[in-house]
Amino acid sequence: MTFTILGRCARTGQLGGAVTTSDIAVGARVLSADAGLGIAATQHRTDPRLGQLVLERLALGESPEQAVAAIAAGTRHRDWRQLGALDVRGRTGAYSGSRLWPVGAQLSGSDCLVVANMLVSDAVAPAIRDAFTSSPRQPLADRLLAALIAGERAGGEQGDGLRSAALLIVERERFPLVDLRVDDDSAPLDRLTGLWDTYRPLAPVFLARALTPDDVPGAGEDHV
């Protein structure tokens, strides 16, 4: 019931992911990222612990393929799980268990990886990948959102309509540059795109408040 795109911006070094599903609050469970290292996705009978475990293995020097394979092999209920990872070099790794609901996908492209399950057809994953790779000069967030929208337009997933979506991007700091979530909405991709349009001009301001608060205009005022 989920489709996810993991992506890298070679120009900025940003790593990010976007995910949507017909269940509630997908942003709380699927994506994990570490700036300068990689981003991981864990889904389908989701175990949120697995994404962080993949990142820990990347930190030890393993490739995404090695890290995902090791975590899958050591996971008791691996047949239910779907994992994906992309590292700071653009390398990818993915695993889909034998009990994954069809149509499933794990599809790599230039600086990206699509992982998905319960799609309506085999055409959805390529549409997601192609939308991401077709605009390499655009900001990473725009490319990730365009990829999800393309997946929905290609038919999306089986069953009920989409209900939640999330966008996560890291750059240089330990905290996310962007972490936006739609938890329960009848048109979550429209809502998430609107949130990003609102957040876009504020992202550098919030970063500056954390790193150089004395240099931010209005620094004497109360701000979150």
Residue-wise pLDDT tens digits, 3-45: 999 999 999 999 999 999 999 999 999 999 999 999 999 999 9
Q: How confident is the model at residue 94 (pLDDT cuts 50, 70, 90)?
A: very high
- What is the pLDDT, as a whole number, of residue 1? 76
116 phi-psi bin (left φ>0, alpha ψ -120 to 50, beta other): beta
Q: Which residues are paired to 19 by β-bridges?
A: 4, 166
State yes or no: pLDDT of 164 exceeds 90. yes
Torsion, CA 125, CA 127, CA 133, CA 135, rounded to 10? -150
Q: Which residues contact 184 (CB under 8 A, 6 or more apart)?
A: 24, 25, 163, 164
* Mean pLDDT for all residues in the chain: 95
Three-class DSSP category at 41: strand
Buried b / exposed e along 179-203 (16+ C-beta atoms within 10 A): ebbbeeeeebbebbbebbeeeeeeb
Q: What is the largest CA-CA distance in the chain?
A: 57
